[in-house]
Structure 1
Amino acid sequence: MKYLIIGLGHYGGLLAEELTALGHEVVGVDKDELHVDRVKDKMATSFVLDATDDLALSVLPVKNVDLVIVAIGDNFGASVRIVSLLKKNKAKHIFARAVDDVHRAVLEAFSIDRILTPEQDAARELAQSLDLSSEVESFQVDESNYVFKFRLPKKLEGYHANDLNLETEFGLKIISLVRGNVALNCLGISVVERNVANEFPEDYELSLNDMLVCYGPYSRFTQFWKSVR
Protein backbone atom coordinates (compact mmCIF):
# COMPACT_ATOMS: atom_id res chain seq x y z
CA MET A 1 0.00 0.00 0.00
CA LYS A 2 0.99 3.64 -0.40
CA TYR A 3 0.88 5.99 2.59
CA LEU A 4 1.30 9.73 3.01
CA ILE A 5 2.42 10.69 6.52
CA ILE A 6 2.20 14.35 7.50
CA GLY A 7 4.31 15.12 10.55
CA LEU A 8 7.60 13.26 11.01
CA GLY A 9 8.26 13.85 14.69
CA HIS A 10 8.90 10.91 17.02
CA TYR A 11 5.54 9.23 16.34
CA GLY A 12 5.26 9.96 12.62
CA GLY A 13 8.91 9.18 11.95
CA LEU A 14 8.74 5.83 13.70
CA LEU A 15 5.50 5.02 11.87
CA ALA A 16 7.17 5.80 8.54
CA GLU A 17 10.09 3.53 9.36
CA GLU A 18 7.87 0.64 10.44
CA LEU A 19 5.59 0.85 7.40
CA THR A 20 8.59 0.95 5.07
CA ALA A 21 10.11 -2.06 6.82
CA LEU A 22 6.85 -3.93 6.19
CA GLY A 23 7.21 -3.31 2.46
CA HIS A 24 4.85 -0.36 2.00
CA GLU A 25 5.60 2.79 0.00
CA VAL A 26 5.73 5.82 2.28
CA VAL A 27 5.73 9.51 1.39
CA GLY A 28 6.69 11.71 4.35
CA VAL A 29 6.08 15.42 4.95
CA ASP A 30 7.21 17.85 7.63
CA LYS A 31 7.95 21.56 7.71
CA ASP A 32 10.99 20.90 9.93
CA GLU A 33 13.94 19.93 7.74
CA LEU A 34 15.66 18.17 10.66
CA HIS A 35 12.70 15.82 11.09
CA VAL A 36 12.74 14.99 7.39
CA ASP A 37 16.52 14.47 7.28
CA ARG A 38 16.29 12.03 10.20
CA VAL A 39 14.05 9.56 8.32
CA LYS A 40 14.23 10.47 4.62
CA ASP A 41 16.40 7.44 3.83
CA LYS A 42 13.67 5.19 5.28
CA MET A 43 10.97 6.44 2.88
CA ALA A 44 10.28 6.40 -0.85
CA THR A 45 9.84 10.18 -1.06
CA SER A 46 9.98 13.07 1.37
CA PHE A 47 8.99 16.74 1.31
CA VAL A 48 9.96 19.72 3.44
CA LEU A 49 6.89 21.94 3.36
CA ASP A 50 4.14 23.43 5.48
CA ALA A 51 1.07 21.24 4.92
CA THR A 52 -1.19 23.89 6.48
CA ASP A 53 -0.68 25.95 3.32
CA ASP A 54 -3.25 25.04 0.68
CA LEU A 55 -0.90 25.74 -2.24
CA ALA A 56 1.94 23.73 -0.68
CA LEU A 57 -0.39 20.82 0.06
CA SER A 58 -1.44 20.72 -3.59
CA VAL A 59 1.98 19.37 -4.62
CA LEU A 60 1.49 16.25 -2.48
CA PRO A 61 0.05 13.03 -3.99
CA VAL A 62 -3.06 13.25 -1.79
CA LYS A 63 -5.35 11.51 -4.28
CA ASN A 64 -2.78 8.90 -5.31
CA VAL A 65 -2.18 7.27 -1.93
CA ASP A 66 -4.30 4.68 -0.16
CA LEU A 67 -4.23 6.49 3.17
CA VAL A 68 -3.12 9.86 4.58
CA ILE A 69 -2.00 9.87 8.21
CA VAL A 70 -1.86 13.21 10.01
CA ALA A 71 0.67 12.39 12.74
CA ILE A 72 0.87 15.92 14.18
CA GLY A 73 -0.18 15.99 17.81
CA ASP A 74 1.32 18.97 19.60
CA ASN A 75 -0.07 21.64 17.26
CA PHE A 76 -3.85 21.49 17.54
CA GLY A 77 -4.50 24.24 14.97
CA ALA A 78 -2.16 22.75 12.36
CA SER A 79 -3.68 19.28 12.77
CA VAL A 80 -7.25 20.51 12.30
CA ARG A 81 -6.40 22.73 9.33
CA ILE A 82 -4.53 19.94 7.56
CA VAL A 83 -7.44 17.52 8.01
CA SER A 84 -9.77 20.21 6.64
CA LEU A 85 -7.57 20.71 3.58
CA LEU A 86 -7.29 16.96 3.01
CA LYS A 87 -11.08 16.67 3.00
CA LYS A 88 -11.23 19.60 0.57
CA ASN A 89 -8.70 17.88 -1.69
CA LYS A 90 -10.70 14.64 -1.55
CA ALA A 91 -8.19 12.33 0.12
CA LYS A 92 -9.50 8.74 -0.08
CA HIS A 93 -8.91 7.84 3.55
CA ILE A 94 -7.64 9.87 6.51
CA PHE A 95 -6.29 8.86 9.92
CA ALA A 96 -5.37 11.66 12.35
CA ARG A 97 -3.70 11.75 15.74
CA ALA A 98 -5.46 13.39 18.69
CA VAL A 99 -3.78 14.29 21.98
CA ASP A 100 -6.82 15.04 24.15
CA ASP A 101 -10.62 14.84 24.22
CA VAL A 102 -11.13 18.32 22.72
CA HIS A 103 -8.80 17.51 19.82
CA ARG A 104 -10.63 14.22 19.29
CA ALA A 105 -14.06 15.88 19.35
CA VAL A 106 -13.04 18.39 16.68
CA LEU A 107 -11.57 15.68 14.44
CA GLU A 108 -14.74 13.61 14.82
CA ALA A 109 -16.67 16.46 13.21
CA PHE A 110 -14.75 15.83 9.97
CA SER A 111 -15.94 12.20 9.81
CA ILE A 112 -12.47 10.85 9.07
CA ASP A 113 -11.77 7.13 8.98
CA ARG A 114 -9.94 6.80 12.28
CA ILE A 115 -8.69 8.95 15.14
CA LEU A 116 -5.39 7.80 16.61
CA THR A 117 -4.69 8.16 20.33
CA PRO A 118 -1.30 6.43 20.70
CA GLU A 119 -0.48 7.75 24.17
CA GLN A 120 -3.82 6.69 25.66
CA ASP A 121 -3.77 3.38 23.79
CA ALA A 122 -0.26 2.55 25.01
CA ALA A 123 -1.20 3.38 28.61
CA ARG A 124 -4.42 1.33 28.35
CA GLU A 125 -2.62 -1.68 26.88
CA LEU A 126 0.02 -1.60 29.61
CA ALA A 127 -2.58 -1.31 32.36
CA GLN A 128 -4.55 -4.22 30.89
CA SER A 129 -1.50 -6.43 30.53
CA LEU A 130 -0.61 -5.78 34.16
CA ASP A 131 -4.22 -6.35 35.21
CA LEU A 132 -4.80 -9.62 33.33
CA SER A 133 -1.30 -11.18 33.33
CA SER A 134 0.64 -12.65 30.41
CA GLU A 135 -1.77 -15.59 30.16
CA VAL A 136 -4.39 -13.43 28.42
CA GLU A 137 -4.25 -11.85 24.95
CA SER A 138 -6.90 -9.27 24.12
CA PHE A 139 -8.07 -7.39 21.04
CA GLN A 140 -10.34 -4.35 21.32
CA VAL A 141 -13.39 -4.45 19.04
CA ASP A 142 -15.17 -1.28 20.18
CA GLU A 143 -15.30 1.06 23.17
CA SER A 144 -16.18 -1.66 25.70
CA ASN A 145 -16.01 -5.07 23.97
CA TYR A 146 -12.95 -7.22 23.40
CA VAL A 147 -11.94 -10.63 22.12
CA PHE A 148 -9.94 -12.54 24.74
CA LYS A 149 -7.74 -15.61 24.31
CA PHE A 150 -6.51 -17.17 27.53
CA ARG A 151 -4.82 -20.25 28.88
CA LEU A 152 -7.09 -22.40 31.00
CA PRO A 153 -6.69 -21.59 34.71
CA LYS A 154 -6.07 -24.50 37.11
CA LYS A 155 -9.52 -23.99 38.70
CA LEU A 156 -11.27 -24.86 35.43
CA GLU A 157 -9.38 -28.09 34.71
CA GLY A 158 -11.80 -30.98 34.19
CA TYR A 159 -14.83 -28.77 33.57
CA HIS A 160 -16.94 -29.28 30.46
CA ALA A 161 -16.73 -26.18 28.27
CA ASN A 162 -20.52 -25.80 28.22
CA ASP A 163 -20.68 -25.97 32.02
CA LEU A 164 -18.75 -22.75 32.49
CA ASN A 165 -21.88 -20.62 31.94
CA LEU A 166 -19.74 -17.66 30.88
CA GLU A 167 -22.55 -16.07 28.89
CA THR A 168 -25.13 -16.40 31.69
CA GLU A 169 -22.89 -15.32 34.57
CA PHE A 170 -20.51 -12.88 32.91
CA GLY A 171 -21.97 -11.92 29.53
CA LEU A 172 -19.05 -13.55 27.73
CA LYS A 173 -19.60 -15.66 24.62
CA ILE A 174 -17.18 -18.52 23.91
CA ILE A 175 -16.08 -18.22 20.28
CA SER A 176 -13.75 -21.19 20.03
CA LEU A 177 -11.67 -23.74 21.89
CA VAL A 178 -7.97 -24.17 21.18
CA ARG A 179 -7.20 -27.75 22.08
CA GLY A 180 -3.73 -28.50 23.34
CA ASN A 181 -2.46 -32.03 22.71
CA VAL A 182 0.92 -33.24 23.97
CA ALA A 183 2.99 -34.89 21.23
CA LEU A 184 6.61 -35.78 20.54
CA ASN A 185 8.53 -33.78 17.94
CA CYS A 186 11.20 -35.19 15.62
CA LEU A 187 13.76 -34.98 18.45
CA GLY A 188 11.55 -36.92 20.84
CA ILE A 189 10.80 -33.81 22.92
CA SER A 190 7.29 -33.29 24.28
CA VAL A 191 5.55 -30.29 22.73
CA VAL A 192 1.98 -28.98 22.81
CA GLU A 193 0.23 -29.02 19.45
CA ARG A 194 -2.78 -26.70 19.24
CA ASN A 195 -5.87 -27.09 17.08
CA VAL A 196 -8.77 -24.65 16.87
CA ALA A 197 -12.26 -26.09 17.32
CA ASN A 198 -15.23 -23.78 16.76
CA GLU A 199 -17.55 -26.56 17.84
CA PHE A 200 -16.78 -29.14 20.51
CA PRO A 201 -18.65 -32.01 22.23
CA GLU A 202 -20.68 -31.10 25.30
CA ASP A 203 -18.82 -33.76 27.31
CA TYR A 204 -15.35 -32.49 26.31
CA GLU A 205 -13.26 -32.00 29.47
CA LEU A 206 -10.98 -28.98 29.52
CA SER A 207 -7.29 -29.54 30.24
CA LEU A 208 -4.51 -27.19 31.30
CA ASN A 209 -3.09 -27.36 27.77
CA ASP A 210 -6.26 -25.88 26.32
CA MET A 211 -7.05 -22.25 25.55
CA LEU A 212 -10.40 -20.51 25.19
CA VAL A 213 -11.38 -17.57 23.00
CA CYS A 214 -14.34 -15.48 24.10
CA TYR A 215 -15.99 -12.15 23.35
CA GLY A 216 -17.59 -9.58 25.63
CA PRO A 217 -17.15 -6.47 27.83
CA TYR A 218 -13.70 -5.91 29.29
CA SER A 219 -15.16 -5.20 32.75
CA ARG A 220 -17.06 -8.50 32.79
CA PHE A 221 -14.01 -10.47 31.68
CA THR A 222 -11.93 -9.04 34.51
CA GLN A 223 -14.65 -10.17 36.95
CA PHE A 224 -14.51 -13.67 35.49
CA TRP A 225 -10.71 -13.76 35.39
CA LYS A 226 -10.32 -12.68 39.00
CA SER A 227 -12.85 -15.30 40.07
CA VAL A 228 -10.81 -18.15 38.59
CA ARG A 229 -7.28 -17.00 39.39
Structure 2
Amino acid sequence: MKKQFAVIGLGRFGGSICESLSKQGMEVLAIDTNEDKVNRFANVATHAVVADSTDENTLKSLGIRNFDHVIVAIGDNIQSSILTTLMLVEQGVKHITVKAQNDYHEKVLNKIGAHKVVHPERDMGVRIAHNIVSKNVLDYLELSDEYSIVELMAGTTVNGKTLIDLDIRAKYGCNIMAIKRGETIDVSPSADVSLLKGDILIVIGADSDINRMEHALFDDED
Protein backbone atom coordinates (compact mmCIF):
# COMPACT_ATOMS: atom_id res chain seq x y z
CA MET A 1 0.00 0.00 0.00
CA LYS A 2 1.09 3.56 -0.72
CA LYS A 3 2.02 5.62 2.30
CA GLN A 4 -0.28 8.52 3.05
CA PHE A 5 1.21 11.94 3.74
CA ALA A 6 -0.35 15.24 4.73
CA VAL A 7 1.49 18.50 4.13
CA ILE A 8 0.24 21.49 6.10
CA GLY A 9 1.45 24.81 4.72
CA LEU A 10 2.07 25.18 0.99
CA GLY A 11 4.85 27.76 0.89
CA ARG A 12 8.15 27.05 -0.87
CA PHE A 13 9.18 24.34 1.60
CA GLY A 14 5.81 22.64 1.94
CA GLY A 15 5.08 22.96 -1.75
CA SER A 16 8.41 21.39 -2.66
CA ILE A 17 7.73 18.43 -0.33
CA CYS A 18 4.24 18.04 -1.75
CA GLU A 19 5.56 17.92 -5.33
CA SER A 20 8.38 15.52 -4.47
CA LEU A 21 6.14 13.08 -2.61
CA SER A 22 3.58 13.15 -5.41
CA LYS A 23 6.27 12.44 -8.02
CA GLN A 24 7.30 9.41 -5.98
CA GLY A 25 3.76 8.08 -6.23
CA MET A 26 2.73 8.78 -2.65
CA GLU A 27 -0.78 9.78 -1.64
CA VAL A 28 -0.61 13.39 -0.49
CA LEU A 29 -3.17 15.62 1.20
CA ALA A 30 -2.18 19.29 0.76
CA ILE A 31 -3.58 21.73 3.33
CA ASP A 32 -3.39 25.52 3.58
CA THR A 33 -5.59 28.41 4.70
CA ASN A 34 -4.81 30.25 1.46
CA GLU A 35 -7.19 29.25 -1.32
CA ASP A 36 -4.85 30.37 -4.10
CA LYS A 37 -2.07 28.11 -2.80
CA VAL A 38 -4.46 25.19 -2.47
CA ASN A 39 -5.69 25.67 -6.04
CA ARG A 40 -2.08 25.71 -7.22
CA PHE A 41 -1.54 22.21 -5.83
CA ALA A 42 -4.96 20.79 -6.72
CA ASN A 43 -3.46 18.95 -9.70
CA VAL A 44 -0.25 18.01 -7.89
CA ALA A 45 -1.46 16.41 -4.66
CA THR A 46 -3.97 13.58 -4.36
CA HIS A 47 -6.28 15.96 -2.50
CA ALA A 48 -5.90 19.66 -1.71
CA VAL A 49 -8.12 21.45 0.80
CA VAL A 50 -8.53 24.89 2.33
CA ALA A 51 -8.52 24.30 6.08
CA ASP A 52 -7.43 25.76 9.42
CA SER A 53 -5.02 23.23 10.91
CA THR A 54 -5.29 24.83 14.36
CA ASP A 55 -8.93 23.73 14.59
CA GLU A 56 -9.27 20.35 16.28
CA ASN A 57 -12.59 19.46 14.65
CA THR A 58 -11.25 20.32 11.18
CA LEU A 59 -8.34 17.95 11.61
CA LYS A 60 -10.65 15.23 12.86
CA SER A 61 -12.94 15.68 9.85
CA LEU A 62 -9.94 15.25 7.55
CA GLY A 63 -9.06 11.99 9.29
CA ILE A 64 -5.59 13.33 10.01
CA ARG A 65 -4.79 10.64 12.59
CA ASN A 66 -4.97 7.99 9.84
CA PHE A 67 -2.07 9.46 7.87
CA ASP A 68 1.31 7.76 8.10
CA HIS A 69 3.23 11.03 8.24
CA VAL A 70 2.22 14.67 8.63
CA ILE A 71 4.60 17.48 7.70
CA VAL A 72 3.91 20.86 9.29
CA ALA A 73 5.51 23.37 6.91
CA ILE A 74 3.77 26.52 8.14
CA GLY A 75 5.87 29.58 7.31
CA ASP A 76 6.23 32.59 9.59
CA ASN A 77 3.28 31.99 11.93
CA ILE A 78 5.03 30.25 14.81
CA GLN A 79 1.88 30.21 16.93
CA SER A 80 -0.06 28.33 14.23
CA SER A 81 2.85 25.92 13.80
CA ILE A 82 2.91 25.13 17.52
CA LEU A 83 -0.86 24.81 17.87
CA THR A 84 -1.08 22.58 14.80
CA THR A 85 1.69 20.33 16.10
CA LEU A 86 -0.03 20.10 19.49
CA MET A 87 -3.31 19.10 17.82
CA LEU A 88 -1.54 16.42 15.77
CA VAL A 89 0.16 15.01 18.86
CA GLU A 90 -3.13 14.93 20.80
CA GLN A 91 -4.82 13.10 17.91
CA GLY A 92 -2.12 10.44 17.90
CA VAL A 93 -0.54 11.03 14.48
CA LYS A 94 2.14 8.37 13.96
CA HIS A 95 4.92 10.60 12.68
CA ILE A 96 5.11 14.40 12.75
CA THR A 97 7.84 16.45 11.08
CA VAL A 98 7.79 20.19 11.68
CA LYS A 99 9.65 23.09 10.12
CA ALA A 100 11.18 25.35 12.79
CA GLN A 101 11.92 29.05 12.40
CA ASN A 102 14.56 29.24 15.14
CA ASP A 103 16.05 27.35 18.09
CA TYR A 104 13.38 28.57 20.53
CA HIS A 105 10.66 27.33 18.18
CA GLU A 106 12.45 23.96 17.96
CA LYS A 107 12.61 23.63 21.77
CA VAL A 108 8.87 24.20 22.06
CA LEU A 109 8.11 21.73 19.25
CA ASN A 110 10.25 19.06 20.88
CA LYS A 111 8.61 19.61 24.25
CA ILE A 112 5.08 19.20 22.89
CA GLY A 113 5.93 15.98 21.07
CA ALA A 114 7.08 16.62 17.49
CA HIS A 115 8.92 13.54 16.24
CA LYS A 116 11.34 15.43 13.99
CA VAL A 117 12.17 19.12 13.70
CA VAL A 118 13.92 20.52 10.63
CA HIS A 119 15.56 23.85 9.77
CA PRO A 120 15.55 23.86 5.96
CA GLU A 121 16.91 27.39 5.49
CA ARG A 122 19.67 26.94 8.05
CA ASP A 123 20.64 23.50 6.77
CA MET A 124 20.76 24.71 3.17
CA GLY A 125 22.86 27.66 4.28
CA VAL A 126 25.39 25.32 5.90
CA ARG A 127 25.55 23.17 2.75
CA ILE A 128 26.04 26.18 0.48
CA ALA A 129 28.71 27.64 2.77
CA HIS A 130 30.72 24.40 2.66
CA ASN A 131 30.38 24.33 -1.12
CA ILE A 132 31.55 27.94 -1.45
CA VAL A 133 34.56 27.54 0.87
CA SER A 134 35.98 24.52 -0.95
CA LYS A 135 35.65 23.72 -4.65
CA ASN A 136 36.24 20.06 -3.76
CA VAL A 137 33.14 19.81 -1.53
CA LEU A 138 30.19 19.03 -3.81
CA ASP A 139 27.63 18.33 -1.10
CA TYR A 140 27.43 18.25 2.68
CA LEU A 141 25.00 16.57 5.05
CA GLU A 142 25.22 17.24 8.79
CA LEU A 143 24.47 14.11 10.84
CA SER A 144 25.06 15.74 14.22
CA ASP A 145 27.03 18.60 15.74
CA GLU A 146 30.25 16.67 15.12
CA TYR A 147 29.66 14.17 12.30
CA SER A 148 28.82 14.65 8.63
CA ILE A 149 28.64 12.99 5.23
CA VAL A 150 30.51 14.85 2.50
CA GLU A 151 30.91 14.43 -1.26
CA LEU A 152 34.49 15.24 -2.29
CA MET A 153 35.84 15.40 -5.82
CA ALA A 154 39.18 13.64 -6.39
CA GLY A 155 41.94 15.78 -7.87
CA THR A 156 45.51 15.22 -9.02
CA THR A 157 46.81 14.50 -5.50
CA VAL A 158 44.94 11.20 -5.27
CA ASN A 159 44.84 10.35 -8.99
CA GLY A 160 46.00 6.77 -9.58
CA LYS A 161 46.31 5.96 -5.86
CA THR A 162 44.41 3.16 -4.16
CA LEU A 163 42.55 3.39 -0.88
CA ILE A 164 45.33 1.23 0.56
CA ASP A 165 47.92 3.81 -0.55
CA LEU A 166 45.95 6.66 1.01
CA ASP A 167 45.12 4.71 4.20
CA ILE A 168 42.31 7.19 4.89
CA ARG A 169 40.68 5.33 7.77
CA ALA A 170 43.91 4.94 9.77
CA LYS A 171 45.34 8.39 9.03
CA TYR A 172 42.19 10.51 9.18
CA GLY A 173 39.51 8.41 10.91
CA CYS A 174 37.13 8.72 7.95
CA ASN A 175 35.33 6.02 6.00
CA ILE A 176 34.75 5.97 2.25
CA MET A 177 31.13 4.85 1.85
CA ALA A 178 31.05 4.92 -1.94
CA ILE A 179 32.84 6.13 -5.06
CA LYS A 180 30.89 7.64 -7.96
CA ARG A 181 32.55 7.49 -11.38
CA GLY A 182 30.37 8.80 -14.15
CA GLU A 183 27.08 6.93 -14.01
CA THR A 184 28.39 4.07 -11.84
CA ILE A 185 28.49 3.92 -8.05
CA ASP A 186 30.78 1.55 -6.16
CA VAL A 187 29.28 1.08 -2.68
CA SER A 188 31.71 -0.05 0.05
CA PRO A 189 34.64 -0.04 -2.40
CA SER A 190 37.49 -2.51 -1.90
CA ALA A 191 40.79 -1.16 -0.62
CA ASP A 192 42.63 -1.88 -3.88
CA VAL A 193 40.42 0.41 -5.99
CA SER A 194 42.47 3.09 -7.75
CA LEU A 195 41.03 6.60 -7.70
CA LEU A 196 40.86 8.76 -10.80
CA LYS A 197 40.72 12.51 -11.05
CA GLY A 198 37.05 13.49 -11.18
CA ASP A 199 35.84 10.59 -9.02
CA ILE A 200 33.38 11.61 -6.33
CA LEU A 201 34.04 10.13 -2.89
CA ILE A 202 31.21 9.92 -0.38
CA VAL A 203 32.89 10.21 3.01
CA ILE A 204 31.54 9.87 6.54
CA GLY A 205 33.40 11.00 9.65
CA ALA A 206 33.92 13.63 12.30
CA ASP A 207 33.99 17.17 10.91
CA SER A 208 37.50 17.76 12.22
CA ASP A 209 38.78 14.56 10.59
CA ILE A 210 37.06 15.32 7.29
CA ASN A 211 38.63 18.79 7.28
CA ARG A 212 42.11 17.34 7.91
CA MET A 213 41.67 14.82 5.11
CA GLU A 214 40.29 17.40 2.71
CA HIS A 215 43.20 19.78 3.23
CA ALA A 216 45.77 17.00 2.99
CA LEU A 217 44.40 15.14 -0.03
CA PHE A 218 41.82 17.26 -1.84
CA ASP A 219 43.16 20.82 -1.79
CA ASP A 220 44.43 20.76 -5.37
CA GLU A 221 45.23 24.14 -6.87
CA ASP A 222 44.34 23.15 -10.44
Bin the TM-score by the shorter chain.
0.7 to 0.9
More deviation in 25-34 or 137-146?
A: 137-146
Q: Which ranges of structure 2 fall in alignment gaps of 5 or more residues? A: none
2:67 equivalent among 62, 65, 68: 65
Alpha-carbon distance in 1 for matches of 2:141, 2:105: 25
CA root-mean-square deviation: 2.7
Alpha-carbon distance in 1 for matches of 2:65, 2:200: 45
The residue that corresponds to 2:173 in the other structure is 171
Are 1:220 and 2:222 counterparts? Answer: no
Are 1:14 and 2:16 counterparts? Answer: yes
The residue that corresponds to 1:141 in the other structure is 143
Secondary structure in 2 matching 1:41: coil
Q: For this pair of structures, how many residues does the alignment match?
A: 216
Alpha-carbon distance in 2 for matches of 1:177, 1:9: 36
Secondary structure in 2 matching 1:58: helix
Change (3 A) 1:137 1:74: closer
- Name the amino acid aligned to 1:223: R
The residue that corresponds to 1:198 in the other structure is 189
**Contact 1:63–1:90 under 8 Å retained in 2:** yes
The residue that corresponds to 1:117 in the other structure is 119
Change (3 A) 1:197 1:168: closer
**Contact 1:150–1:211 under 8 Å retained in 2:** yes
More deviation in 85-94 or 162-171?
A: 162-171
Change (3 A) 1:138 1:122: closer
The residue that corresponds to 1:185 in the other structure is none
Higher alpha-carbon Rg? 1
Are 1:130 and 2:119 counterparts? Answer: no
Change (3 A) 1:12 1:160: closer
**Contact 1:70–1:96 under 8 Å retained in 2:** yes
Are 1:36 and 2:25 counterparts? Answer: no
**Contact 1:132–1:222 under 8 Å retained in 2:** no
The residue that corresponds to 1:24 in the other structure is 26
Which string of whole-angstrom CA distances, capped at 9 and with x for unpartnered residues, describes residues 56-91 of structure 1? 221122122110011113111111111111011000
- Structure 1 position 210, deviation (Å): 5.3
- Structure 1 position 137, deviation (Å): 4.1
TM-score, normalised with respect to structure 1: 0.80
- Structure 1 position 2, deviation (Å): 1.4
The residue that corresponds to 2:157 in the other structure is 155
More deviation in 31-40 or 119-128?
A: 31-40
Secondary structure in 1 matching 2:152: strand
Q: Which ranges of structure 1 fall in alignment gaps of 5 or more residues? A: 181-190
Change (3 A) 1:111 1:208: same
Are 1:88 and 2:90 counterparts? Answer: yes
Identity %: 26
1:44-55 → structure 2 map (5 Å cutoff): 44-55=46-57
- Structure 1 position 41, deviation (Å): 2.3
Change (3 A) 1:105 1:149: same
Which string of whole-angstrom CA distances, capped at 9 and with x for unpartnered residues, describes residues 80-137 of structure 1? 1111110110001100010111101111113422112111111111112222325644
